[in-house]
C-alpha cells in the first residue's frame, strides 16, 4: 500500500513538495512517484510554448523521495532537515512534460545520523529520464 502523507515526513510544502507517494521502501532504498501537472509553477516560464520539467526539479524530486522514505523509517531524530550538499554524475536523458508521472528509484549508498548519500533514477513509464547521485547533510534548522 502506497504511503501518501508526505507532509508528515518532509518540511517541504507546495509549491515545492515534489513527492506524491512512497510506493515501497526498505533499508536499501525506495520507489516514489510524482505526477507533474500543468498547475506546477515552473511551467509558466519553462517554457510557456513547450513546458518541460526543469532538470534541477527532477534532481530535487529524487532527493525529496529518498529523504521522505528515510524519514518514514525513522532513521533520524524527529524534526531533522535534509540539506542538499552535493550533486554528482547527473544525466538528463528524456524530457518530462505536464501530465507525466515520474517513478523514482532511489538507492541508499551511505546513511549516518548526519549525512545521507543516495543515487536515483527517474522514469516515465519504462523510459529513463534522469539519473543522479547526491549527498544531503542532516541537521536542525538552527
The catalytic residues are 46
DSSP state of 100: P
Burial code (b: 16+ CB inside 10 Å, e: under 16) for 38-65 equals: eebeebeeeeeeebbbebebbbbbbbbb
Residue 91's beta-bridge partner residues?
Answer: 131
- Spell out the residues 6+ positions from residue 141 whose beta carbon is closer than 8 angstroms to its own: 11, 81
Amino acid at each position: 500500500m502506497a504511503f501518501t502523507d508526505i507532509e508528515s515526513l518532509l518540511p517541504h510544502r507546495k509549491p515545492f513538495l515534489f513527492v506524491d507517494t512512497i510506493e515501497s521502501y526498505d533499508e536499501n532504498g525506495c520507489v516514489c512517484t510524482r505526477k507533474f501537472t500543468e498547475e506546477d509553477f515552473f511551467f509558466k516560464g519553462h517554457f510557456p510554448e513547450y513546458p518541460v520539467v526543469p532538470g534541477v526539479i527532477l534532481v530535487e524530486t529524487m532527493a525529496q523521495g529518498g529523504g521522505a522514505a528515510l524519514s518514514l523509517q525513522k532513521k533520524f531524530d524527529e524534526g531533522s532537515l535534509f540539506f542538499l550538499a552535493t550533486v554528482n554524475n547527473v544525466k538528463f536523458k528524456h524530457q518530462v512534460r505536464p501530465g507525466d508521472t515520474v517513478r523514482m528509484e532511489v538507492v541508499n549508498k551511505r546513511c549516518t545520523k548526519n549525512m545521507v548519500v543516495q543515487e536515483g533514477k527517474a522514469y516515465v513509464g519504462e523510459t529513463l529520464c534522469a539519473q543522479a547521485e547526491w549527498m544531503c547533510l542532516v541537521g536542525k534548522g538552527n
